[in-house]
Amino acid sequence: MSTSEIARHFPIESQSSDRDKAFLLSAMRLMGDVAPGYDYLEIGSFLGGSLAPFLVDPACASILSIDERGKTLPDERGALFDYAGITTQSMLDRLHQAGLATAKLTTYDGPIDTMALPERRYDLAFIDGEHTDQACFRDFLWALPMMEPNAAVLFHDSSLIYKAIRLIALYLRKEGRSFAFLKHRDSEMSAVFLGRFAQLDLGRYFEAGEDRDEFYAASEVTVLEHSIRNRVRSGSGAEPLGSFTIDPPKAVKAYY
């Protein structure tokens, strides 16, 4: 997909790369084919960048955007990310400014675990709220009962919340749920396909995914590197850390 085509679908600034956006568009195309009239749930919308393509997709019937607004968020990178000042109204204004109709959009200000279970069941969810493993795992646990049995859940910043993804895979296996996991190569997007969606020919919509163990191993290094850069100082002053090397875990005798 060309850069200009991606830009046309995403008129609002979004904290994601072109490959991330292309993956989202592939998921949207999949939904249009296998669940026309689908309902979309988004956790973490910021200014509405990732909502925009769904607002114009005629196959998307309704959208629920859940966002705990105005917080300074912890993050697995070891820094706090300040979202103060961006309200639901800021997002609606930005969407209208871009000429997008919001009639099919419902919003909820707050974390998903404070919300009553809606009657509607969603076909597609995108989790892009607080980027800690605990918050992402929580978002998934609370979103799951809101989903259709055949559904897809997408994750952004997958390398930051890779431990949540590991726990989600473990939980789904324990529950005996049929699922398939896909990590988009050279991108921060990944997806869990549930029920019959796990058996779809996903290659028609998505490139072959990254090896799951390689993704976990690379993510561990990424998170460590960010945490060290953000939280470790050299010496007693505030000097930035110079270069450093992260080794694989060493084997240590556990008993003598």
Ligand X SMILES: C[S@@+](CC[C@H](N)C(=O)[O-])C[C@H]1O[C@@H](n2cnc3c(N)ncnc32)[C@H](O)[C@@H]1O
3-class secondary-structure state, position 41: strand
Query: Least distance in Å: CB of 130 to ligand X?
Result: 4
Pick from 22, 31, 35, 43: which binds ligand X (CB under 6 A)?
43
| Rounded Cα gap, residues 204 and 99, in angstroms | 32
Q: 174 near 149, Cβ under 8 Å?
A: no
Q: Is residue 53 within the footprint of ligand X (CB under 6 A)?
A: no
3-class secondary-structure state, position 75: coil
Q: Which alpha helices (H) appear in the chain, and where do they start and end? A: 3-9, 18-34, 52-56, 88-97, 133-143, 162-174, 212-231
Q: Is residue 219 within the footprint of ligand X (CB under 6 A)?
A: no
Query: Least distance in Å: CB of 24 to ligand X?
Result: 8
Query: Least distance in Å: CB of 60 to ligand X?
Result: 16
Q: 136 near 192, Cβ under 8 Å?
A: no
Q: Is residue 15 within the footprint of ligand X (CB under 6 A)?
A: yes
The nearer residue to ligand X, 140 or 193, going by C-beta atoms, is 140
Q: Is residue 190 within the footprint of ligand X (CB under 6 A)?
A: no
| Rounded Cα gap, residues 191 and 154, in angstroms | 4
Query: Least distance in Å: CB of 187 to ligand X?
Result: 13
Footprint on residues 63-122 left by ligand X (CB under 6 A)? 66-69, 71, 73, 83, 111
Query: Least distance in Å: CB of 242 to ligand X?
Result: 30
Q: Is residue 16 within the footprint of ligand X (CB under 6 A)?
A: yes
Smallest CA-to-CA distance from 147 within 120, 176, 179, 113 is with 120
| Rounded Cα gap, residues 239 and 256, in angstroms | 40
The nearer residue to ligand X, 27 or 43, going by C-beta atoms, is 43
Q: Is residue 11 within the footprint of ligand X (CB under 6 A)?
A: no
Dihedral of CA atoms 175, 178, 183, 184 in degrees, nearest 10, equals -150
Pick from 23, 46, 137, 215: which binds ligand X (CB under 6 A)?
46
Query: Least distance in Å: CB of 246 to ligand X?
Result: 26
The nearer residue to ligand X, 10 or 38, going by C-beta atoms, is 10
Smallest CA-to-CA distance from 155 within 145, 214, 167 is with 167
CA 17 from chain center: how many Å? 13
Size of the site for ligand X (CB under 6 A): 21
Binding region for ligand X (CB under 6 A): 14-16, 43-46, 49-50, 66-69, 71, 73, 83, 111, 128-130, 135
